[in-house]
Amino acid sequence: MGKENAPTEKGKKSSEGLHEATREEEREVEQEKGSDLKKGADRFIERAKSAGGDAKG
For 27-40, what is the mean pLDDT?
Answer: 85
Report the alpha-carbon distance of residue 26 to residue 43 in Å, rounded: 12
> Measuring CA to CA, how many Å separate 23 from each of 2, 8, 15, 18, 27?
14, 23, 12, 9, 6
**pLDDT over threshold 80, residue 5:** no
Residue-level pLDDT at 7:
82
For 15, residues 6+ apart whose C-beta sits below 8 A from its C-beta are: 1, 2, 3, 6
Residue-level pLDDT at 55:
54
